[in-house]
Structure 1
Amino acid sequence: MASYFDEHDCEPLHSEQDARTNMLLELARSLFNRMDFEDLGLVVDWDHHLPPPAAKTAVENLPRTVIRGSQAELKCPVCLLEFEEEETAIEMPCHHLFHSNCILPWLSKARKQQQKHRLENLHGAMYT
């Protein structure tokens, strides 16, 4: 019978790589098995790191756009569905159009005024 490494055409890892691989595998198994992070000693106050929600007045004052003509071919960046003619979309300061059902929940979690170096991450946060 061939060895595991011969059978899978691979080489054994070095001991330093083994430790890192085992640690990642343990974390993956824990997540897969829905183990509580407290059991791993990885308790973190996640809420402390989240940005505050957007101000209600700022959200209410975002421009609404009625979709017309070629705009109907545009897609909402969140749900990736095309807009329909005569549908009302919310336009963000970046000029992207969103369904209100898609963007409003995100705005309840994130604020426009972020630190400059975090702005790119904030823009991508709605896709995760």
Structure 2
Amino acid sequence: MADYFSEMGWRELADELNSLNGEKLPPPASKASVEALIDEKITQDGHQCPVCLKDFLTGDVVKIMPCKHKFHPECLLPWLSKTNSCPLCRYELPTDDEDYEAWKKEKKRAKERETDIENLHNSMFS
């Protein structure tokens, strides 16, 4: 009997895959940025972890991302060991991958150039 991927005509994604639709896959968050995440003790019930959907209980210690989203450490840390973004809003933490950081910087600059060109065009032809 054929496995699911063969049956559907798909192939599994390889771990060494470096791009998806022409974009680089993000590497894990840097150890320094993960260690810098703030721990907070929950003082009142009412919110839940967006990953496991369990309620935070009074006295639980949670990790707070720079985007202010809160997670159980056991939910967030495995995620950040695979990718550098918040599981909820995709806010990106720094990585230890110099190539990825350079690519991200170049992508940001390309977007700024597009905006600059559009502003120049609008100023000339408005």
- CA-atom RMSD in angstroms: 3.0
Instruction: Give the structure 2 partner of residue 75 of structure 1.
Output: 48
Instruction: Give the structure 2 partner of residue 105 of structure 1.
Output: 78
**C-alpha distance in 1 between matches for 2:10 and 2:43:** 54
Q: Is the counterpart of residue 90 in structure 1 residue 63 in structure 2?
A: yes
Map 1:12-51 to 2 at 5 A.
33-36=3-6, 40=9, 45=14, 47-49=17-19, 50-51=25-26
Is the 2:5–2:12 Cα contact (8 Å) retained in structure 1? no
Q: Which runs of 5+ in 1 are unaligned?
A: 1-29, 118-128
TM value normalised by structure 2: 0.54
Aligned residues: 83
Instruction: Give the structure 2 partner of residue 58 of structure 1.
Output: 33
The code of the aligned residue for 1:75 comes to: Q
Q: Which runs of 5+ in 2 are unaligned?
A: 20-24, 85-92, 95-100, 108-126
TM value normalised by structure 1: 0.53
**C-alpha distance in 2 between matches for 1:65 and 1:41:** 43
Is the 2:41–2:61 Cα contact (8 Å) retained in structure 1? yes
Larger helix proportion of the pair: 1
Q: CA deviation at 1:88?
A: 0.3
Instruction: Give the fraction of aligned pairs with identical amino acids, expressed as a percent.
Output: 36
